[in-house]
């Protein structure tokens, strides 16, 4: 469905963030992308969604294809309208000074038609909490509610691919669990999901496939279950594996093993 | 007592015009967090465009030709040219627009020969002039502000400073710096109760300003475009991520702002004459928005009225004591006092803090 081919992204003309990344998203899957801070996960999502311009980044090499059509360099709104790629930014991207209902309306701006009202009710079905707060300013909602609202807003754009950037950021484990359940339900209803997460364990549990990023490259990929059992992932992202302290030498060994796509 | 009422009334009527000026600053500030210092120049451009329409002013061909060419370039290459190669639309559109505007300036519209009744002529020329002013605002935004989207608001503010000088010089080149008599010939609605007297022109100015002000508010708070503008003014990145084209929203906001400034400009010119130097009236918007709060639309209304009253009161009570020209300073003194008490202005946003 969505294919990123050998993508290189540079910020401010000097800071190289993605150094040749190729990923493929298949229809109706939950793709998990994990990696340390600064590995380039968010940048990848920005590049795919067309927001990279806004952050003064440039795609200097490679291509992004949606069902065979190149979407590289298109406006964010064009990508969303034509190809149904919706990007939910990290840190709960809701409009604080608008009410929850207005937030949902604003998100449906790109496709204003008579079905907006019905879609809004559908969102309230997914997230009953929001229905109770519909006339409250979104800034006063709790973190979990805001994240749910953000996903609800993304739903209002009728996405085919949902790019979620760390939805569990700053949420309690229970809320995270609830959120991931909803993500699973959304996936079951036919939306392809690309999930960028720090919370490797929980996300790999709901995902179908996964990629591991490191300093702008993909070092590992495979089915989510395989990744969960992978010794390196267990060690570096899940914090389990062998309990004794590792020396730097072993960390290097891991680096040597990485795959260069 | 009569004196006081008279002063208050006059102050409020002028204050409504100032409120409109403040609104223009506030909506741009909310949308892009930049302060538009070119407001005075937008004011004279709007007034001159209206003047050209209403009074059959024409411009010699050697000036109109340059103007047409510039507008052609604007339209064809900046308004439409982008990565998707829309120049196939842009080139013919640009040529047409440039030619039309050239004709408009060179031959004039001759509205007064077409429409005899002054009130009807006003009704035709007013929206046309506003539309032209809005277009100018939108074009200016495309050239100067759009490339800066996502950068620091300070750089936009500095750009508007430079833009002000450029626009003023252009107006001076095209229309010259002498003053033009400006008389709208609107129906006389002078009010007189006993010893109170309110002149027709300020009443018209107040009514029209209030009308435009409320139209903008209805647009912002009751329509989907207004909702998109409010969303964009909160966070451009978030808005873009949810499919609101922040660049286009900014264009609309600048267009609306230029349009409202033109209304204020026409009303202020109607008090006296129109000339390039009048642009400094636009700076009266600074105390208005600072008193009301930079990001509060209601604050702009209150601030405008306060400044108007303050000015009128200073003119009526303090200037006769021998302090000639105190009227010009009084709003700034009021501003100083307000800022001492409330540094964010009277109605500056209460920041939402989650608990």
Instruction: Give the domain CATH number at A242.
Output: 3.40.50.300
pLDDT of residue B210: 92
pLDDT of residue B326: 86
A65 within some domain = yes
pLDDT of residue B236: 85
pLDDT of residue B244: 87
What digits encode the pLDDT tens for the residues A16-41? 888 888 899 998 899 999 888 888 88
What is the residue whose two structure tokens read 């795919």?
A48
A97 within some domain = no
Residues 80-109 of B with CB under 8 A from A: 83-84
- Residue B171, CA distances (Å) to A253, B67, B177, B276 in order: 70, 11, 8, 7
A133 within some domain = no
Class of domain B2-57+108-184+194-341: mainly alpha
Residue B33 has pLDDT above 50, yes or no: yes
User: How far is it, in rounded angstroms, from Cα A157 to Cα B106?
Assistant: 48
State the DSSP string of B10-23. Answer: HHHHHHHHHHHHHH
CB contact under 8 A, A106 and B239: yes
Number of Cβ within 10 Å of residue B91's Cβ equals: 16
H/E stretch holding B301: helix B297-313
Nearest to A106 among B83, B231, B352 (CB): B231
A131 within some domain = no
User: How far is it, in rounded angstroms, from Cα B144 to Cα B38?
Assistant: 12
Listed range (A15-24, A90-99, A105-114) with the worst mean pLDDT: A105-114
* Average pLDDT of the residues in B284-292: 88
With beta carbons under 8 A apart, name residues in chain A contacting B84. Answer: 74
Listed range (A95-99, A123-127, A253-257, B92-96) with the worst mean pLDDT: A253-257
> What percent of chain B stands above pLDDT 70?
84
CB contact under 8 A, B241 and A96: no
In chain B, where the domains are located: 2-57+108-184+194-341
Band (A261; pLDDT cuts 50, 70, 90): very low
**Interface contacts A/B by beta carbons within 8 Å:** 96
A121 within some domain = no
Residue A254 has pLDDT above 70, yes or no: no
Number of Cβ within 10 Å of residue B98's Cβ equals: 21
What digits encode the pLDDT tens for the residues B199-248? 888 898 999 999 999 999 999 998 888 999 999 888 888 888 888 888 88
Band (B309; pLDDT cuts 50, 70, 90): very high
Band (A150; pLDDT cuts 50, 70, 90): very high
Residue B275 has pLDDT above 70, yes or no: yes
Q: How far is A88 from chain B (nearest CA, A)?
A: 7
Q: HSE of B328 in the Cβ direction (CA atoms, 13 Å)?
A: 7
Residue B66 has pLDDT above 90, yes or no: no
Q: Could you give the angle at the alpha carbon of A83 between the alpha carbons of A79 and A87, nearest 5°?
A: 60
3-class DSSP state of B299: helix
CB contact under 8 A, A106 and B149: no
CB contact under 8 A, A76 and B241: yes
What are the backbone angles phi and psi of residue B253, rounded to the nearest 5°?
Answer: -60, -45
pLDDT of residue B88: 65
Residue B176 has pLDDT above 90, yes or no: no
Does A89 reach chain B within 8 Å, measured CB to CB?
yes
From A46, which residue of chain B is nearest by alpha-carbon distance? Answer: B241
- Residue A109, CA distances (Å) to A113, B230, B232 in order: 9, 12, 11
Band (B81; pLDDT cuts 50, 70, 90): low
Mutate to test the interface with B, among A109, A112, A162 (most CBs of B within 10 A): A109
User: Into how many domains does chain A fold?
Assistant: 1
Using an 8 Å Cβ cutoff, are B92 and B47 in contact?
Answer: no
Query: What ipTM describes this predicted complex?
Result: 0.84
* Average pLDDT of the residues in B93-112: 69
Residue A230 sits in which domain range?
Answer: 2-91+155-256
Q: How far is B73 from chain A (nearest CA, A)?
A: 23
Q: How far is B233 from chain A (nearest CA, A)?
A: 10
Nearest to B227 among A51, A106, A111 (CB): A106
A26 within some domain = yes
With beta carbons under 8 A apart, name residues in chain B contacting A112. Answer: 224
Does B143 reach chain A within 8 Å, measured CB to CB?
no
CB contact under 8 A, A77 and B238: no
């Amino acid at each position: 469905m969505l294919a990123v081919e050998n993508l290189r992204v540079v910020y401010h003309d000097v800071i190289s963030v993605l150094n040749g990344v190729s990923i493929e998203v298949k229809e109706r899957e939950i793709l998990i992308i994990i990696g340390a801070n600064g590995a380039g996960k968010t940048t990848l999502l920005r590049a795919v969604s067309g927001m990279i311009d806004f952050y003064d980044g440039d795609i200097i090499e490679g291509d992004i294809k949606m069902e065979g059509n190149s979407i590289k360099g298109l406006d964010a709104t064009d990508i969303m309208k034509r190809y149904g790629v919706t990007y939910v930014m990290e840190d709960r991207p809701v409009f604080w000074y608008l009410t929850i209902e207005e937030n949902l309306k604003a998100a449906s701006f790109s496709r204003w038609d008579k079905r907006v009202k019905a879609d809004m009710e559908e969102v309230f079905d997914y997230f009953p909490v929001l229905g109770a707060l519909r006339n409250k300013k979104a800034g006063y909602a709790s973190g979990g509610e805001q994240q749910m609202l953000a996903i609800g807003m993304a739903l209002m754009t009728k996405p085919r691919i949902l790019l979620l950037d760390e939805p569990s950021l700053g949420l309690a484990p229970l809320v995270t669990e609830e959120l991931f359940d909803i993500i699973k339900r959304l996936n079951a209803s036919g939306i392809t999901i690309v999930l960028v997460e720090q919370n490797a364990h929980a996300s790999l549990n709901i995902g179908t496939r996964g990629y591991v990023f490191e300093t702008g490259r993909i070092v590992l990929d495979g089915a989510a279950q395989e990744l969960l059992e992978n010794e390196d992932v267990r060690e570096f992202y899940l914090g389990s594996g062998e309990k004794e302290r590792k020396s730097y030498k072993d960390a290097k060994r891991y680096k040597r093993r990485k795959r260069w796509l | 007592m009569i004196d006081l009422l008279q002063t208050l009334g006059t102050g409020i009527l002028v204050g409504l015009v100032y409120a409109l000026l403040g609104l223009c600053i506030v909506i741009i500030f909310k949308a892009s967090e930049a302060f538009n210092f070119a407001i005075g120049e937008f004011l004279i451009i709007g007034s001159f465009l209206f003047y050209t329409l209403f009074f059959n002013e024409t411009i010699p061909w050697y000036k109109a030709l340059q103007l047409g060419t510039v507008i052609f370039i604007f339209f064809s290459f900046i308004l439409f040219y982008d990565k998707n190669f829309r120049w196939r639309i842009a080139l013919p559109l640009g040529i047409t627009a440039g030619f039309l505007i050239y004709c408009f300036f060179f031959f004039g519209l001759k509205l007064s020969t077409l429409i005899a009744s002054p009130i009807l002529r006003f009704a035709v020329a007013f929206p046309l002039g506003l539309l032209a002013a809005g277009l100018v605002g939108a074009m200016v935004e495309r050239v100067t502000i759009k490339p800066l989207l996502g950068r620091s608001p300070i750089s936009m503010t500095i750009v508007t400073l430079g833009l002000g000088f450029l626009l003023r010089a252009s107006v001076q080149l095209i229309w010259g710096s002498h003053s033009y008599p400006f008389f709208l010939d609107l129906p006389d609605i002078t009010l007189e109760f006993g010893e109170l007297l309110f002149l027709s022109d300020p009443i018209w100015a107040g009514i029209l300003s209030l009308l435009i002000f409320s139209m903008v508010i209805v647009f912002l708070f009751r329509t989907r475009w207004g909702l998109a503008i409010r969303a964009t003014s909160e966070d451009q990145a978030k808005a873009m991520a949810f499919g609101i084209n922040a660049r286009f929203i900014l264009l609309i906001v600048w267009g609306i702002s230029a349009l409202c400034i033109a209304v204020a400009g026409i009303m202020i010119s109607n008090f006296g004459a129109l000339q390039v130097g009048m642009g400094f009236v636009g700076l009266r918007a600074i105390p208005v928005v600072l008193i009301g709060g930079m990001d509060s639309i209601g604050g702009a209304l209150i601030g405008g009225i306060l400044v108007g009253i303050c000015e009128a009161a200073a003119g009526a009570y303090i200037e006769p004591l021998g302090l000639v020209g105190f009227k010009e300073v009084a709003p700034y003194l009021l501003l100083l006092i307000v800022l001492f008490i409330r540094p964010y202005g009277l109605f500056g946003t209460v920041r939402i803090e989650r608990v």
